[in-house]
Amino acid sequence: MNKDPYGQLASSLYASLNKQTRQAVSGIGAVLGTITSTGLKLDDFKHEMPDYMVAELPGLLSIPRYTAKGIVTLGGQQQNMVFDMEENEIEDTRLELGKGLKPGDRVLAVRVNGGNDVVVVCKVVSSGG
């Protein structure tokens, strides 16, 4: 019995496009990983990555009004003090995530440049602490 050549062509094109699509997006997306002493180990990739990027967040830091309690030492004498801090905004601040990461920290990473590079976006922790 003769098979439909158009059906075979459509099936072949579908399979080919499906394969190409899987290959194109396989290196894209967010993945969990662990910081090591020499790099980054992604959960879905068997090799450690010695070279990776880390997000840095420039911006304006807004600090709400708050009260701080502390001890002040003047002339060898200590005294308990209460400091009322006013609301404040500090321009040109930068959160440097990479300086706070240690080996063993779990992180969320995003693949970029077709999966050739990885950017660590943040540290992740359990909701229990």
List pLDDT tens digits, range 51-61.
999 999 899 99
Asked if the model's pLDDT at residue 26 lies above 60, the reply is no
| Residue 16 resides in a domain | yes
Give the residue numbers spanning the domain of 117.
Answer: 5-123
| Residue 26 resides in a domain | yes
Distance CA 54, CA 22 (A): 27
User: What's the pTM?
Assistant: 0.63
Asked if the model's pLDDT at residue 18 lies above 80, the reply is no
| Residue 128 resides in a domain | no
Residues 43 and 109: beta-carbon distance below 8 Å: no
**Looking up tokens 């590079």, which residue turns up?**
117
| Residue 129 resides in a domain | no
| Residue 56 resides in a domain | yes
The whole-number pLDDT of residue 20 equals 64
Residues 31 and 111: beta-carbon distance below 8 Å: yes
Residues 22 and 30: beta-carbon distance below 8 Å: no
Cα–Cα separations (whole angstroms), residue 108 to 22, 86, 98: 22, 35, 13
* Choice between 7 and 117, residue whose per-residue pLDDT is larger: 117
| Residue 20 resides in a domain | yes
Distance CA 54, CA 94 (A): 13
How many domains does the chain divide into?
1
**Looking up tokens 């920290």, which residue turns up?**
105
| Residue 57 resides in a domain | yes
| Residue 33 resides in a domain | yes
Q: Which amino acid is residue 25, in one-letter code?
A: V
Report helix, strand or coil for 71: strand
